[in-house]
Amino acid sequence: MIARAALKPEPVAGTSVGAGFVIVSADDPDMHSSQNEQDNRRYAPFAKIPLIEPSDSQECKDFMREAYAVSERFDLPVLFRMTTRVCHSKSLVSFGERAEAPARPPYERDAAKFVCTPANARRHRPLLEEKLKALEAYSNESPLNVTDLRGPKIGVISASIAYQYAREAFPEDTSFLKLGFTWPLPMDRIRAFAAKVETLYVIEELDPFMEEQIRAAGIPCIGKAVIPDMFELNPEIVRRAVFHQEPETVRVDCPVVPRPPALCPGCPHRGFFYVMGKRENFVIAGDIGCYTLGCAAPLSAMDSVVCMGGGFSVGMGMAKAFEALGQTDKKVFGVVGDSTFFHSGMTGAAEILYNKGRIIPCVLDNSITGMTGHQDNPGSGYTLSGEIAARIRIEDVLRSFGYETVIVVDPQDLAAMQKAVDDALASDAPAAIVVRRPCLLIKRIRHDTGKCVVDAEKCRACRLCLKVGCPAISLQGGKAKIDRTLCTGCTVCAQVCRFGAIAREDSPAAKKEVRP
């Protein structure tokens, strides 16, 4: 199963699959943790494969079984579209009878089917169109599409989580055509449903994917003329858009303290971004990961974030642009994490060398995929299932590419971190930096943690320690205060303090914290 798959019709659908193949693709309306709101349903007609959409936890299980059945019946991959709200919701699920799949026949070579040469692709093309016609006929009979006639006045066609919102927003006597098989659309069934209601609404999240097809079939309907085409829907938004009804709300006069996202206390990325943020002539091309938060104040040490691998590739483009403009004072650094380096950073690192980019690639190696759930990667020494695996050392890869100067540094040693940056800038040979310290949330590692304390007598209230952006540090009575429940004893704040007012408890310089 693949998320965010960029699909092409001929290789994926044209060659067929031979067995059940379901592609899970998750949309993120409202961009809770994404850079855009792309509607992945568009991939189904583009790739010429069927599309299935569940609307709750039970359907996630039941529809997946049907998705595999459809895939095997039509010898095609099936796109299984999820959304953030469906993924994050929980409900009781009933299990059915377990049926063991029959044993698969042994593998047989079939070059005419699976070797995607132009000659083979031409033979597959008309066969694919025949499958799509059969799929459209099947969609009209699919058990995933359910008609619920309750009244002739209003009819609603909906799918996925938008169906749940519409159910709450519309009156009890509203008729529904709930679609689970949404491409090819069951157009005959839609026409029959539309003929039974006076006004037809199409409620869907993001693009007018279904509405456009229904309108193209000559069926009048109301959709994005009233329903927003941006951000996540909810019952209140649907009710307001269709019926102009404002929800009843109770206001509580209780100001909420703003809590912007921040790097965790003790995060290894903090030292790197603190050092990088002190230089105004540094241009830092960032990437997707925990370290994206290096852009936030007070670190403010990132200029761009586009996509995975963009830390190197976008940085390379920026370096070439500055070079063409004669702006040689701009020092460009490209930043990716260790997981991103193995995912899509190595190609960018090779391009920097090949095209002689004036950019220093930096790999922030925290030994894990921190942002999306602590999955292991080829540099962690473990497989995704936790088995010990060969560990690919990032510095060895960079040296094999041709980076003659590869500096490995602990980012929580600020002096060493500063020297690494200076040495990389001074190098006449291609240089790269590997910033290495494990994420503190990796349970299998025994971390050297402790607590830092503030000597209130030495504290000058200069607030310089606040510039490291650690959630454990605040002000109390004008003096620095460290929250013992958050502090991990990384000492970055202690290294920043110019008056020796902060020290780790187990250090001889530490003094018991004065509490009011």
Region 153-182: mean pLDDT is 95
**203 and 239 fall within a common domain:** yes
pLDDT of residue 14: 63
Helices then strands, each counted (H, E), the chain: 17, 17
Please say if the pLDDT value at position 509 is more than 60: no
> Is position 260 within any domain?
no
Give the Cα separation of 140 and 448 in Å (integer).
62
Which of 27, 23, 74 lies closest to 52, judged by CA? 23
Angstrom CA distances, 226 to 159, 221, 223, 331, stand at 17, 11, 6, 49
Give the Cα separation of 211 and 59 in Å (integer).
23
Instruction: Supply 54's token pair.
Output: 């569940």
- Please calculate the CA angle 505-507-511 and round it to the nearest 5 degrees: 55
Which of 392, 396, 437 lies closest to 413, judged by CA? 437
Please say if the pLDDT value at position 190 is more than 50: yes
> Is position 52 within any domain?
yes
CATH number at residue 393: 3.40.50.970
**291 and 336 fall within a common domain:** yes
Cα 487 to the chain's mean position, in Å? 28
Do residues 433 and 407 make contact, with C-beta atoms less than 8 angstroms apart?
Answer: yes
Q: What is the pLDDT of residues 24-39, one digit of tens each?
A: 998 888 888 777 888 9
Q: Give SS3 for 447.
A: coil
Which of 167, 174, 173, 180 lies closest to 234, judged by CA? 167
Q: Which domain holds residue 277?
A: 269-436
Q: What is the pLDDT of residues 324-371, one digit of tens each?
A: 999 988 899 999 999 999 999 999 999 999 999 999 999 999 998 887
**289 and 316 fall within a common domain:** yes
Region 4-20: mean pLDDT is 58
**170 and 129 fall within a common domain:** no
Q: What is the pLDDT of residues 287-327, one digit of tens each?
A: 988 899 989 889 989 999 988 889 999 999 999 999 999 99
**34 and 159 fall within a common domain:** no
> 408 - beta bridge partners?
434
Domain endpoint, select from 104, 139, 174: 139
Domain endpoint, select from 379, 411, 436: 436
What DSSP character marks residue 29? T
**413 and 497 fall within a common domain:** no
pLDDT of residue 485: 93
Cα 21 to the chain's mean position, in Å? 23
**205 and 275 fall within a common domain:** no
The pTM score is: 0.82
Q: Give SS3 for 130.
A: helix
Region 41-52: mean pLDDT is 93
> Is position 22 within any domain?
yes
Do residues 495 and 414 make contact, with C-beta atoms less than 8 angstroms apart?
Answer: yes
Q: What is the pLDDT of residues 69-95, one digit of tens each?
A: 999 999 899 999 999 999 888 888 998
**28 and 117 fall within a common domain:** yes
**293 and 420 fall within a common domain:** yes
188 burial via Cβ count (<10 Å: 0-12, 13-18, 19+): middle
Work out whether strand 431-436 and strand 199-203 pair parallel, antiparallel, or are unpaired.
Answer: unpaired
Give the Cα separation of 94 and 248 in Å (integer).
35
Give the Cα separation of 420 and 410 in Å (integer).
10
Region 153-175: mean pLDDT is 94
Q: What is the pLDDT of residues 425-439, one digit of tens each?
A: 999 999 999 999 999
pLDDT of residue 369: 87
pLDDT of residue 288: 87
Please say if the pLDDT value at position 511 is more than 70: no
> Is position 254 within any domain?
no
pLDDT of residue 1: 38
pLDDT band at 512 (very low <50, low <70, confident <90, very high): very low
Give the Cα separation of 362 and 318 in Å (integer).
15
Structurally, the chain folds into a number of domains equal to: 4
**18 and 128 fall within a common domain:** yes
Do residues 150 and 195 make contact, with C-beta atoms less than 8 angstroms apart?
Answer: no
**285 and 383 fall within a common domain:** yes
> Is position 95 within any domain?
no
Give the Cα separation of 432 and 23 in Å (integer).
37
Q: Give SS3 for 502.
A: strand
Please say if the pLDDT value at position 17 is more than 80: no
Dihedral over alpha carbons 387, 391, 394, 395 (to 10 degrees): 150
Long-range Cβ contact pairs of 476-480 (< 8 A, separation 24 or more):
476/516, 477/516, 479/454, 480/454
pLDDT of residue 224: 93
> Is position 476 within any domain?
yes
CATH number at residue 212: 3.40.50.920
pLDDT band at 106 (very low <50, low <70, confident <90, very high): confident
Give the Cα separation of 231 and 32 in Å (integer).
10
pLDDT band at 18 (very low <50, low <70, confident <90, very high): confident
**317 and 460 fall within a common domain:** no
Region 234-250: mean pLDDT is 86
Region 389-407: mean pLDDT is 96
Domain endpoint, select from 407, 436, 465: 436
Give the Cα separation of 355 and 429 in Å (integer).
14
> Is position 118 within any domain?
yes
pLDDT of residue 328: 84
> Is position 297 within any domain?
yes
Mean confidence (pLDDT) of the chain: 89
